[in-house]
Structure 1
């Protein structure tokens, strides 16, 4: 059985931008308007621009189940106080809008995003995976992206750094919430890394975790069961640590070794 034809591309073969404010489900509209209003009040003139990413701007979010994913770009490097303000705003929005189940407001410095190596990671994230919410769109200053080995290396070629942190987090998890949050994070990342391992061969882009799993399994059928476990862990996380141990002991090390051999390790600016 052949893999489905590449998707997620513009006519010239570059990766198309996901999401649009027109795709935001109506149930989330008041939340998004509140975010658009509060971010400039929180960061003032230091705010360059803000973006949505994830299921809400893709139109796939489920009220009371999905989380809010947002990015704020600042003219200056974010400080610990800035991150505290972002966390406080997220908590305020989460309490005020039952349409979401948590979320995160990421902070980045515009200069960092525009650096050449970072532009193959954070720049790709802004230009292709983020939907402009307010302020000038930084994507106008970023290159067009194609599903290449360079993009694969710079987006997910750092499992060698991430894996020890996950293992430490698992030993430190004390509550069911801790375990469920970690399970979701690990499952999502492993599915996305599995997809970008095969992305240059497939020649397209997707953020659909189910399609990503199918594409990976087409190229690496011997790892299908473990990758489907990662998908279940990403989409239906539980506090049971057993799947996490299996993913961290079996799939993640294989994926890190294979990824490094195929695309190399991520370079840092």
Structure 2
């Protein structure tokens, strides 16, 4: 569900509804379960609908970001918690990153800092986001979030015929519409990561694309597309390639 508090402050900074106090009480046992199974030196943050208070039982995911937890441990703990709380949430997704992912002046590290500062609520462990300033709602933030969209396109094309088309098409739709939200943000001088809002606004900007965009939004949460439709999404000159080209021209891509 969209975060109703996401937007831009009067001085041009990103604002969201992510805050520890907004976590619905229904999810507190899930958080306690996970926190009781990680070492004290591991940082744990919650993000997404649970963090901004818009989550609904039992259809929302519980999304957690850990800094310092091994990837294998995060995957195993996520599966364990998902099984334990199947009646509360759709799943418990635990991302595992390192402190190095937040250092340096590259676009990816910058985007990671923006995300940590504005979209994550700290739960336990060292709080690496505590000293971060508010970040401007601008092209640099949009590039930090989705400047890897061209790399993603290459990966998706390489995955055709190998990955399950339903899963692949959902990944394509979700990432591409986040990039589109960045385009909307820069085009309108606003800030959003909401896919539905991005589709609605870009359908006004380019009405000819409206049916394709509506279908892409449907794919985000549906059973996915067939192999033929997935291949068509990635065709040269198609919608996804057009979004990538527009993003590269107006916002820019991550540099090697």
Q: Same fold (TM over 0.5)?
A: yes
TM-score by length of 1: 0.82
- Structure with the higher fraction of residues in helix conformation: 1
CA distance in 2, matches of 1:124, 1:237: 31
CA distance in 2, matches of 1:263, 1:22: 34
Find the residue that maps to 1:39 and give its secondary structure. Answer: coil
**Matched residue count:** 248
Measured against aligned partners, the alpha-carbon deviations of 1:166-202 in whole angstroms (never above 9, x if no partner) come to 23334213xxxx4443333221111110110121222
Task: Point out which structure has higher relative CO (alpha carbons under 8 A, 6+ apart).
Answer: 1
CA RMSD, aligned part only? 2.3
Query: Any stretches of 5+ residues in structure 1 without a counterpart?
Result: 1-5
Change (3 A) 1:204 1:255: same
CA distance in 2, matches of 1:207, 1:179: 25
CA distance in 2, matches of 1:241, 1:206: 31
| Pair 1:133 & 2:123 matched | yes
Contact 2:178 2:194 in 1 (8 A): no
Find the residue that maps to 1:89 and give its secondary structure. Answer: helix
CA distance in 1, matches of 2:91, 2:228: 24
User: Cα offset for 1:242?
Assistant: 4.6
Change (3 A) 1:110 1:26: same
1:104 alignment counterpart:
93
Change (3 A) 1:159 1:236: same
Aligned equivalent of 1:238, options 218, 224, 234: 224
CA distance in 1, matches of 2:166, 2:92: 14
Measured against aligned partners, the alpha-carbon deviations of 1:50-104 in whole angstroms (never above 9, x if no partner) come to 1111122122323232222111112xxx7xxx21111110110011001222342
1:71 alignment counterpart:
65
TM-score by length of 2: 0.86
Which structure 1 residue ranges, 4+ long, deviate > 6 Å from structure 2? none
CA distance in 2, matches of 1:239, 1:7: 30
Find the residue that maps to 1:237 and give its secondary structure. Answer: coil
Measured against aligned partners, the alpha-carbon deviations of 1:196-232 in whole angstroms (never above 9, x if no partner) come to 0121222222233211222222333332222211111
